[in-house]
Amino acid sequence: MQVVAQSWLVLSISGSAFLLGVDGFLGQIPILLFSLIGGVIADRIDRRRVLLGSQYVQMTCAFLLTVLIAFKVVKVWHILGLSFVVGCAQSFGGPAYQALVPMLVEKEDLPNAIALNSIQFNLARVIGPMLGGLALTGLGAAWCFGLNGLSFVAVIVSLLMLTVKFVPRTTGESILTGVKQGIGFVRKQGAMVGLIALAFLMTALAIPVLTFLPVFAKDVFHRGPTTFTILLSCSGAGSVAGALIVAAFGNVRNKGQVALLTLLLLGGGITGFALSKMIVLSCLLLFVSGAAMMGVFSMISSLVQLITANEMRGRVMSVYNVAFRGGMPLGSLATGWLVPRYTAPHVLAVNGLLLIAVGFYFLLVQRRVAAL
């Protein structure tokens, strides 16, 4: 919800698509800078404590933005600065969270737990903007930030109720050594390198569609926040459908091949949406893209978790987090730089075509992922 209000607020205050990309960049670049360190810490400290600290920082930032907007003193640099702080908190909380979840179930239930976790995480990433668009239209930006701040209370209470604790192995190794061990593990697993590359390329090329929906609503369809909300709602509905499909099939065989075929669908949906001039067709293509995005993200995340040992999970998931979340700032920054020069439809259409090319490459040339 905060991302939606933040995107519209930055565009409204500055009128700059480039600053919209900068905001996405500053919110995600800490993932590239600090996630590997966060992964080492997640393997050396109680993961629940690391995650709690991350939630406290993010909650404080949400409430601070609420106050700034309510008193009408918010500036673009306030938003950009707080985006960076939130990104820093997530760079430590992300690996701890992803490493903690598999500890909550028995080993035989791990595939279903990972699938459920992937569904809820990615579903929230798309349904949140849908709810944020409704709140932005009906209540205003301050409510989006305030409700986000309140939502952390439920998260913090849930974490405090957990009884499972991670007791790390005592080690005198440096953080740098821990980082190298995580990267080394990834390099030894042949298919893991492909999964990491896919995570980066997917987010770098697909997530800008959500980031730049305000530009389509305002500059392509020449309408306001209501159209923005409709577009977000269609993407959110698609993600719900995608989640239900993933849940219905459960622990499917040939996850790698299914994920790559779904990636082709995602690329086609994004290209079609970018070139569409009709709102109804655009909404339909956003629905398809949302469903495909959910399916790809869920299956790739499940494959990474399934081939990772628990004692290495924090470090390996931090490498995955760098790729998965690191693609977002670079994709947002590059798209924000290109949109004023070539227009949003042309840039995002190329993004979709590149996703199709990536899918065919891993299906036909580098087949280690397809074989999983």
What is the number of structural domains in the chain? 1
In-domain check, residue 372: no
At 326-348, the pLDDT tens digits run: 787 788 778 888 988 899 999 99
Q: Does residue 371 form part of some domain?
A: no
- Tell me how far apart the alpha carbons of residues 195 and 14 are, in angstroms, rounded to a whole number: 37
Residue with tokens 């700059």: 16
Give the per-residue pLDDT at 245.
82
pLDDT, one tens digit per residue, over 160-208 is: 998 876 666 666 677 778 788 778 877 777 788 899 999 999 989 998 8
181 in any annotated domain: yes
Rounded Cα–Cα distance for residues 137 and 226 (Å): 7
Q: Is residue 334 one of the residues assigned to a domain?
A: yes
Range of the domain at 103: 2-163+174-364
Residue 78 CB-density burial (10 A; 0-12 exposed, 13-18 middle, 19+ buried): middle
Structural domain contains residue 97: yes
Candidates 84, 20, 6; CA nearest to 339 is: 20
Q: Which residues of 281-306 are buried (b: 16+ CB within 10 A; e: fewer)?
A: ebbbbbbbbbbbbbbbbbbbbbbbbe
| 168 within some domain | no
With respect to residue 46, please indicate whether it lies within any of the assigned structural domains. Answer: yes
- Report the SS3 class of residue 170: coil
Q: Is residue 128 part of a domain?
A: yes
CATH for 249: 1.20.1250.20
Give residue-wise pLDDT tens across range 253-280.
Answer: 788 899 999 999 999 999 999 999 899 9
Name the pTM for this structure.
0.73
